[in-house]
Amino acid sequence: MSATGSPHAITPPDSAAIRRYNAFLLLVAGLGGLLYGIDVGIIGGAYPYLAATSGLTASQLSVIVAAVLLGSVLSTLFAGLLADWMGRKPLMILSGCTFALSIPIIALSQGYAPLFFGRLLQGMSGGLIGVVVPLYLAECLSASNRGKGTAIFQWLLTLGIVAAALIGMYFSYRVAAVTKLNDATALSHFEDHAWRSIFWVSLPPGLLFVLGGFFVTESPRWLFLRNRKEHAYAALLKSRSPEQASRELEEMEATAHAAASSSGARVRDSLLRRKYLIPFLLACVILAFNQATGINSIIGYNAGILLQSGLSDLASHWGYVIFTVMNFLATTIGMVLVDRKGRKFLLVMGTCGVIVATAGVGLLFRTTEKVGVDCRNAVQAMAGPNQEMTLRFDAAAANRLIGGDDTLGITENDASLVVIYSYGDFTCATNYVRSDDAAAAPIKITRASCVPANKIVALFSNPFANLAAAQTAPLKIEKALLGGVPDARHGWLVAIGLYLFIAFYALGPGVVVWLALSELMPTRIRSNGMSVALVLNQMVSTTLAAIFLPFVSKHGYSSIFFLFAGCTVVYMSVAAFFLPETKGKTLEEIEAHFEGNAVRSS
């Protein structure tokens, strides 16, 4: 390299400037984690008011909750390609702009379609952020700071969830004040205003993330791969001493030279090579089962879970706030321990705790769900001549369904009802409603809420169904499960189980997952490999969120928590027997570990 082109001719900044830039870089990247957390957590506080005022069915509400995850899947598919094509920095700016655009679409929506589109767009921003920010941090931070630095992304992610919960708590108090007026119209109007305002409040962090993205440098490794070595060295000098920057630049050149001189065609450096395939598959399994713990579903439906466990509306929102604070505090501890105790230790410990917690919550719900009766015949008789019905489930309606049977252990003032119904081959379920909830919307069962509007939607709903027959089929009540609402003591026991769940999740999987995503992938396939692994992560999350309410309606909360526990057993086994320890190792050393295993086994 000529003297004029030598990167060493660049004047390095002083140590104070390096510290300031590192702090600013982590702040901007942390804002990405904050947005990701808001993406996940904002629906938790808004959901009860959205469900009460939107007129959407349980299936539609599940789709609205899952839409943000579906958007993540769609954008994650292309995030790696976009990060390689346009660079890490422009993609971070684009992801922030996408988030900022989604908020007014959601908050101003009228009806299912615009609400779905806004949530989908919000999810697409989260998918881009989930790939590009950990990728950017892994490529910009030194080996000694990579664990803590990447953990900051998760730390501020949990802070975003806390912020979303506090916003929901604020509006919960205001809704409670309006409830005391005993004006159903005013209450409905304010609840509609509440969920829209909750989304509006989340707009400023998105704008700050976009603004901050303009003031960070591009990833030095991306610049090097584009043969812009001088710019790569300048980017390294922003956050490192000249000696460290020179050493890392030399390592990049050595790695590039080794790849160029490797025998065989370029295809040999694809995912099909064993040294790439093993860490790639391991990262995919970890990312998929990280969502199979139920984390996003438990966050998204937390207030509803606590409400059905026996807590009041206000208490359930407080329970959700405590849940998010536990997540934040445990993540803080995990951030400190991840470079001390190691990734594998935290992941095994965390998954073991998640298994115990989810199984415990499942057992608590099982004790109450055994008390119930199927009153489908009585509900079927309420169907009108148009094969539709509207049922306000209050104390009087509960008393009629109970029929004076004292042996059921259910009273009119603490009853719950969920209805599973069908038109032909299409089946739907209502939300759980409580007889003591004066603000609850009536149960509305219509053909439009169950039967798809066209063949394309029908194909995705049930590919084997007869749409034409369903459009004229009579309403059939498959099940109308009348149960009792547990007392507040049971509700707080469930809440404690959820607090244990989030504490162990945050200590282990919550912190380790982003490191596993960025550390296990070899340099050559890191961006695209992270995209594929995160797509699996989001597909599992989307599927669980979409089936959560219908599954709970049919099988109860106990079954879904037992499912989460079973999936986490598999997760723990993979972490214990297959995951290598990566603490303190450079990205090149981690890659060499898998290549060495492949050589010895061949």
The residue to which tokens 């009228």 are assigned: 110
Read off the pLDDT of residues 177-207 as tens digits, 9 standing for 90 and up. 887 787 778 888 888 888 888 888 888 888 9
pLDDT number for residue 488: 80
Mean pLDDT of 552-568: 87
Q: What is the pTM of this model?
A: 0.67
Render pLDDT for 67-77 as a digit per residue (tens, 0 to 9).
777 787 788 77
Q: Which of 390, 418, 366 is nearest to 565 (CA)?
A: 366
Q: What tens digit of pLDDT does each residue of 12-56 get?
A: 666 777 778 877 877 887 788 887 777 767 776 787 788 778 777
Each domain of the chain, given as residue ranges in start order, spans 13-216+274-365+491-601, 372-409+415-484
3-state secondary structure of 98: helix
Report the distance separating Cα 46 and Cα 39, nearest Å. 12
d(CA 407, CA 241): 77
- The per-residue pLDDT for range 477-504, each reduced to its tens digit, is 888 888 777 778 888 999 999 999 999 9
- Lowest-pLDDT range of 160-164, 192-196, 556-560: 160-164
Higher confidence at residue 100 or residue 263?
A: 100
* Token pair recorded at residue 256: 């590039």
- Give the model's pLDDT for residue 66: 72
The helix (H) or strand (E) run that includes residue 578 is helix 557-578
CA 84/CA 91 separation, integer angstroms = 10
Q: Which pLDDT does position 264 carry in this prediction?
A: 45
What DSSP string describes 333-357?
HHHHHTTTT-HHHHHHHHHHHHHHH
Long-range contacts from 588-593, C-beta under 8 angstroms, 24+ separation: 588/251, 588/255, 588/523, 590/279, 590/519, 590/520, 591/275, 591/279, 591/522, 591/523
The partner residues of 415 in beta bridges, in order of sequence, read: 484
pLDDT surpasses 60 at 597: no
More confident residue, 201 or 356: 356
Q: What is the pLDDT of residue 144?
A: 62
Report phi then psi at 433, rounded to 5: -125, 150
For residues 544-565, b (16+ Cβ closer than 10 Å) or e, as one string? bbbbbbbbbbbebbbbbbbbbb
Q: How many residues does the chain have?
A: 602
Question: CATH code for 13-216+274-365+491-601?
Answer: 1.20.1250.20
The predicted pLDDT at position 570 comes to 92
Among 109-123, 129-143, 474-488, top mean pLDDT goes to 109-123
442-466 per-residue burial string, b: 16 or more CB within 10 A, e: under 16: ebbbbbebbbbeeeeebeebeeebe
pLDDT at 497 (0 to 100): 94
463 compared with 427, residue with greater pLDDT:
427
pLDDT in tens, 223-232: 887 888 888 8
138-147, 168-177, 391-400: which range is least confident on average? Answer: 138-147
How many other CB atoms sit within 10 Å of the CB of residue 110?
A: 8
* Residue 267, pLDDT score: 45
Q: Mind listing the pLDDT tens digit for each residue in 234-287?
A: 888 777 778 877 877 777 777 667 656 554 444 444 556 666 677 778 888 888
Tell the residue number behind the tokens 């584009």, with chain if given: 226
Ramachandran region of residue 556, left (φ > 0), alpha (ψ -120 to 50) or beta? left
Mean pLDDT of the chain: 79
pLDDT for position 553: 72
**What does the pLDDT average to over 156-180?**
80
Alpha-carbon distance of 139 to 221, in angstroms, equals 6
Residue 304 and residue 320: Cα distance in Å, rounded?
Answer: 10
The predicted pLDDT at position 189 comes to: 86
Distance CA 189, CA 200 (A): 17
Q: Residue range 434-460: average pLDDT? A: 77
Is residue 63 within 8 Å of residue 116, measured between CB atoms? yes
